[in-house]
Amino acid sequence: MRKFTLSVLGAAMALGMYAQARFQSLYVVGNACSAGWSQDGALPMEKTADGLFVWTGELKAAASEDTERFKFLVDEKQWAPTITCNINTPEQQHQMVELADASQNPIKENKLYVRETESTGSDNAFTVSETATYTIAINLEAMKMVIVKGTEPIYPTIPTLGTDSLYLVGGAVNATGEWDHSLPPIELVGENGVFTFNDTLYTNAKDSAEFKFKTLANSWDETLVSAMEGGQVIAAVEGEDAAEYDMVFRPFEGSPNDFPFLITATGVYDLTIDLNTKKLTVNSFTPVEEEGNNAVAMVSEDVVRVLAAANTITLSAQGGNVITSASVYDVAGKCLGTVSESGSQVWFEGLSNGLYIVKMNCAGKDYVQKVLVK
């Protein structure tokens, strides 16, 4: 038996989807400020607009790694959830803030993270290198903090959709159905915000495959996804027909509504992507017969039973089979955890509600399964 606890996952997903809507109040707490580690004494931040908060006050420099730290309480000033730095490793539990300056371009920003429970991951906090008066500005839509010396706040910014480059990514891009992050994204040809793709997208007879677009080659910020809740299956158009679909721009990896496009047939797709209108057009489709085991098969219950309950996905090999490896992905294609030790059962714990993709090897064959945790 093998268990994998996703200590970061639930927090990261909840942060992106719900932080601005959930949290109406923020408070500075910690022994780097006058509040100390007192919930009752936590210092309120001023809410200047929905999702925007600011605070000015003295922060003390860290004398050692475990002293003079700060983070943020929310709403009822409980110890869970809290907002803190976007790291969660035993090697580095606290983060020295990056100070911003109005003359900088771009402004230095610090990524934020929601620690959902007191037992989730490491108890992280921010530190500063010099005792001084600072102003902290937080944008919950951006999930970022800007901290400056002095009293003039600088708020984190929301990027706008660029039109200079576009990349196609997803499980539909290769025959295995993997969101393979070791491969470079497919760069599309275009100009003036209009790009084209004319090549093979893959799926298999038992499942659909997913894809979306990103404007940055090395980041999951600034992506374009389906405007339809839950994802959009695109038509395998015939003849002179064409089908048009709406897209939405997600400025950050943690932004809500990460809904992919999906295909149900392998073939050559002629696509036009217009960033000016946020439209995806399927101009034509030529089917391609899949051969052998090019596509990953859907798992059947006589091989592995897949159960989702209590924020946990459980994989149980059947008939004396052994699961030799397993990985879980979010709908953005990010690998959230991998188990590489053989066993008859595998657990992935600490999941937030949502759709996941589990890929595994059992009885010498690769399988994929979509799992809804609720």
Higher-confidence residue of 59 and 175: namely 59
Per-residue confidence (pLDDT) for residue 66, from 0 to 100: 63
Residue 152 pLDDT grade (very low, low, confident, very high; cuts 50, 70, 90): very high
Which residue type sits at 373? Answer: V
Give the model confidence (pLDDT) of 153-167 as tens digits.
998 887 889 899 999
Give me Rg for the CA atoms of the chain: 23
Interval 75-123: pLDDT, tens: 999 999 999 987 755 566 688 999 998 888 888 999 888 888 888 777 8
pLDDT-derived band at 239 (thresholds 50, 70, 90) equals low
Mean pLDDT of the chain: 82
pLDDT score recorded for residue 178 = 66
Q: What is the predicted pLDDT for the residue at 113?
A: 85
Q: Which of 126-130, 224-228, 231-235, 251-255 has the lowest mean pLDDT?
A: 251-255
**Whole-number pLDDT of residue 6:** 46
> Would you state the pLDDT for residue 309?
81
Residue 95's SS3 state is strand
Tokens representing 179 are 């969101």
Residues 6+ apart with CB under 8 A from 166: 187, 188, 190, 195, 213, 214, 215, 224, 273, 275
Instruction: Report the pLDDT averaged over residues 181-190.
Output: 81
Q: What is the pLDDT of residue 301?
A: 64
Between residues 361 and 128, the one the model is more confident about: 128
| Amino acid at position 356, single letter | Y
CA atoms within 13 Å, Cβ hemisphere of 20: 16
State yes or no: pLDDT of 206 exceeds 60. Answer: no
In this predicted model, which residue has the larger pLDDT, 74 or 333?
74
What does the pLDDT read at residue 241? 77
Question: Coil, strand or helix: which one is 45?
Answer: coil
pLDDT of residue 300: 64
Give the confidence band of 197 by pLDDT, cuts at 50, 70, 90.
Answer: very high
State yes or no: pLDDT of 204 exceeds 70: no
pLDDT score for 253? 78
- Confirm if 202 and 174 have CB atoms less than 8 A apart: yes
Confidence of residue 235 (pLDDT cuts 50, 70, 90): confident
Q: How confident is the model at residue 9 (pLDDT cuts 50, 70, 90)?
A: very low
**Residue 207: pLDDT above 80?**
no
pLDDT higher than 50, residue 223: yes
Higher pLDDT, residue 34 or 240: 34
CA 49 vs. chain centroid, Å, equals 25
Question: Does the structure show a pLDDT above 50 at 43?
Answer: yes
Note the pTM of the prediction, 2 decimals: 0.50
